[in-house]
Amino acid sequence: MSTKTKHILDILEAGTHPDAHLSMHQNVLIVDDVSFNLTFLETVLEQDGVHILKASSGEEAITTLQHNEVSLIIMDVMMPGLSGYQTASIIRSNEKTKYIPIIFVTAADRNDCSFEGYQSGAVDILYKPVAPEILRSKVNIFLELDKQRQLIKQQSEALKSALEQLQHYAQHDQLTGLFNRDQIYRILEKLIAGSARNRTVMALLFLDLDHFKHINDSLGHDVGDQLLKSVAKRICSVLRESDFVARLGGDEFAVILNNLESRNAAGLVAQKIIDQLVVPHVLTEHEILVSCSIGIAFYDENYENSSDMLKAADSAMYQAKRKGRSQYAFYSADLEEQAIRRLELARALNEAIDKNELSIYYQPQLNTKDGRIVGLEALMRWQLNGEWIGPYEFIPIAEESGLIPKLGEWMLVNSCKQIKAWQDAGVFAANVRVAVNISNRQLQAGNFLDILQRALTQSGITPKCLELELTESAVMHDPDNTISLFNEIHKMGIDIAVDDFGTGYSSLSYLRKLPIDTLKIDRSFVQDIDVDANDEAIVNAIIGLAHHLGLQVVAEGVETEKQRKHLLSQGCDILQGYLFSRPLPAEQVPALAQSLNPPTKN
């Protein structure tokens, strides 16, 4: 039995239990201007366990009814001020008290009292002197009826509550309390119909958290659930009452912005959501940083249903991720064409790997002391039907389609074979290495160490001729596991370099513990060292930090003589960039090597 089903059954159980009415509180109001009569009636009725309220006049009785729930009224007819008949008529005319049963107890003549008594609203008339047994019998009948009435009311309220709970569960996500996928589809369908009639501007935002899986994997699903709740609250905090928000599942959310003043307003809301989410989420023992990517689709006549509009927003969201994450993107017809192209390229890339139709270009790395080539960075290139497909396009496609491990292994094995071929041909000395970029997904594969060993064995190179380059963000993805894996790689004799250093979020405490050999300064800092004092200071600091930790420093993106001289003055170890050579296909590398390094025979 599911938790929600049990909860609903518990609600019904509480309202239908056969003993539930026994705890009901019942008040009996006695109205008589003679204190002896009040005492007598109270004494008789208290034996049945009811609570007695007393009033000595009709006016006092009406006041008492305004402040108390009463199950039965026993009232004298002849009283000063308001008579029993008049008091009963007033009680019957009030919406709150009109259904309270009234029993008259009177010394008047039967013929004089009966007609007027029943006409004023009495349910029964007892004549003095009243035998206690008769009074108690009559009272118990009406109190039992009242108990049944209250029980039916309880059951009705319990059923109503259960139905409301069922409706809520059917429409809402149980974790965040937001609408669920089915309900947001229904809402969207209705709003699409309304927008078509009224020509109003309506936007759908598709939101996905960036790298949420890392949080679940490292901190556990309980923390992940807490984060999702926090995200839901923050999204709601920037929306209007007329907007709708849903959790679609996992870390995906949808927001409907209805009756917008303009299309620009959707972008403003998306940016507010992004800004809200990047503020650290403090969850028990953890402070978590998270960002999101948002796709925005506007309603137009091209959408036949809510599913089409959601797909469009989803497509735009992936565009935002490809642009760098933590931003939003608008859907356009071009995105659909791009989506089709990505599918076609994924299929063609898989074929290209199998048929060995990819290329590897090599960019030399020069020692600053003597200008000799000490290494080459391997860079993948792909030409499809005469068109060059840039790595910034096909690498993300390989990641999305799960081809990265296969592509990475191809790159690793072939780069090792090529450096070995050059060494055997005397193009390079035996200590010149090839630097191969490795993705985080390759590291996560359980067989990465086996792939490394296979690449060394098949190529015949020594481990020192291979250097693995990983981006700073990949290294810091899971630093504790990375330390363990890097130690195993070091045991094999392979060097490790951190690429694009300075652009990620490295913790210096982890950097000190990581078994790495080289830091590569990102080209974005190198480009402006001769014009930007801040970039110059960053480059100088990275070189100083690396040398203090016993690491080599490679500066990539060197394009001018002024940049080269500055890096040389700071003691940078290795330079790489267009100033020396662009990336070259394998067949052009020997000529470059001949111009920079004299031939070396093994």
- What digits encode the pLDDT tens for the residues 394-443? 988 888 788 999 999 999 999 999 999 999 999 999 999 999 999 888 88
* Helix, strand, or coil (residue 63): helix
The pLDDT of 512-527, averaged and rounded, is 87
Q: How confident is the model at residue 4 (pLDDT cuts 50, 70, 90)?
A: very low
Mean pLDDT lowest for which of 22-26, 78-82, 314-318? 22-26
Q: What does the pLDDT read at residue 240?
A: 92
At which residue do the structure tokens 């300064």 appear? 521
Is the distance from CB of 600 to CB of 426 less than 8 angstroms?
yes
Is the distance from CB of 435 to CB of 375 less than 8 angstroms?
yes
What is the number of other CB atoms lying within 10 angstroms of the CB of residue 235? Answer: 24
Strand partners, 375: 365, 433
Q: Are strands 102-106 and 124-127 parallel, antiparallel or unpaired?
A: parallel
- What digits encode the pLDDT tens for the residues 134-172? 888 888 888 888 888 888 888 888 777 777 667 666 778
Q: What rounded mean pLDDT belongs to the chain?
A: 86
On the question of pLDDT at 308 being above 90, the answer is no
- Cβ neighbors of 336 (< 8 A, separation 6 or more) are 312, 315
Q: What does the pLDDT read at residue 510?
A: 62
- Cβ neighbors of 353 (< 8 A, separation 6 or more) are 403, 406, 407, 410
Q: What does the pLDDT read at residue 552?
A: 94
Q: What does the pLDDT read at residue 504?
A: 55
- What digits encode the pLDDT tens for the residues 34-47? 999 898 888 888 76
- What digits encode the pLDDT tens for the residues 345-383? 999 999 999 999 999 999 999 999 889 999 999 999 999
- What digits encode the pLDDT tens for the residues 85-140? 999 999 999 998 998 999 998 887 776 667 777 888 888 888 888 888 888 888 88
Is the distance from CB of 539 to CB of 350 less than 8 angstroms?
no
In the chain, DSSP finds a helix count (H) and a strand count (E) of: 23, 22
The pLDDT of 60-81, averaged and rounded, is 92
Q: At what angle do helices 3-16 and 132-171 cross, to 10 degrees?
A: 170
Is the distance from CB of 368 to CB of 567 less than 8 angstroms?
yes
Q: Dump strand ranges (E) for 274-405.
A: 281-283, 286-288, 292-298, 328-330, 359-367, 373-384, 387-389
Q: How confident is the model at residue 454 (pLDDT cuts 50, 70, 90)?
A: very high
Q: What does the pLDDT read at residue 217?
A: 81
CA distances from 398 to 84, 411, 440 (A): 91, 13, 13
- What digits encode the pLDDT tens for the residues 215-274? 888 888 899 999 999 999 999 999 999 899 999 999 999 999 988 888 888 999 999 999
The dihedrals phi and psi of 477, each to the nearest 5 degrees, come to -60, -50
CA distance 582 to 128: 118
Q: Are strands 466-471 and 433-437 parallel, antiparallel or unpaired?
A: parallel
**CA 284: distance to chain centroid?**
18
Tell me the two tokens of residue 542. Answer: 């990275």
